[in-house]
Amino acid sequence: MASQTKTLIRELVTSYPHIFDGLNSLVDVGGGTGTAVKIITEAFPRLRCTVFDLPHVVAKDLKGDTFDAVGGDMFEMIPPADAIFLKNVLHDWGDEDCIRILKRCKEAVESSKNGRKVIVVDIIVDSENHDPKALETSLFSDVLMMCLFGAKERYMKEWHNIILGAGYSHYNIYPAPLGVNSIIELFP
């Protein structure tokens, strides 16, 4: 995951820098080893980032000069920030759990005085784009998610239902610069 994250996040900050405009703080939910926030803070040094993951994950001496690490449970509480970042987290969960997670994210950005958005990087299965390799990869990942976690990759209509079900007013979708992931900006 860290290897794929390096390539994807480098392309994200290069191709879509406007996503980070005006943000002062960002929490990477499920941020693991901090790979994403290291790249984000390298591109946007003014942005204060926090890696938020399970306590045993961040207890492994996860420290950085440009980011903090906080242990916790995303189903209980997410630290407040201008933006919450979730990369390949939601496809690990069923629809009801995704709605619960996105509601926690919404609470976190709304409780920040400059709260603005939630940034999701995940697969959107697109059977209409006429790219057979992208569809094949998405469907393979879908089977993998079902077998490993009882979860799934989602079509656009499924994402739409989850986003609105979590109480967001609107969202933007950008194709990921690499691979089958997309970037979804959610606004409270």
pLDDT one-digit tens code per residue, 25-46: 999 999 988 999 999 999 999 9
> Is 91 labeled as catalytic in the residue annotation?
yes
Alpha-carbon gap, residue 103 to 77, rounded angstroms: 10
With respect to residue 149, please indicate whether it lies within any of the assigned structural domains.
no
Residue 110 has pLDDT above 90, yes or no: no
With respect to residue 134, please indicate whether it lies within any of the assigned structural domains.
no
Q: What's the number of domains the chain is made of?
A: 1
Torsion angles phi and psi, residue 136, rounded to 5: -60, -45
Sign of CA dihedral 159, 162, 166, 168: positive
Out of 91, 130, 160, 170, the active site residue is 91
- Between 101 and 154, where is the model more confident? 101
Q: How many CA atoms lie within 13 A of 165 on its CB side?
A: 14
With respect to residue 139, please indicate whether it lies within any of the assigned structural domains.
no
| Region of poorest pLDDT, from 23-32, 47-56, 79-88, 123-132 | 123-132
Alpha-carbon gap, residue 149 to 85, rounded angstroms: 21
Dump pLDDT digits (tens) for 144-187.
Answer: 545 555 556 677 788 899 999 999 999 999 876 666 788 999 99
Assign residue 83 the CATH number of its domain: 3.40.50.150
With respect to residue 105, please indicate whether it lies within any of the assigned structural domains.
yes
pLDDT computed for residue 171 by the predictor: 95
With respect to residue 137, please indicate whether it lies within any of the assigned structural domains.
no
Identify the CA nearest to 31 among candidates 64, 2, 3.
2
Which domain range does residue 102 map to?
2-124+154-187
Tokens of 144: 């993998």
Identify the CA nearest to 38 among candidates 7, 73, 4, 65.
65
Identify the CA nearest to 159 among candidates 130, 128, 124, 134.
124
With respect to residue 118, please indicate whether it lies within any of the assigned structural domains.
yes
With respect to residue 144, please indicate whether it lies within any of the assigned structural domains.
no
With respect to residue 130, please indicate whether it lies within any of the assigned structural domains.
no
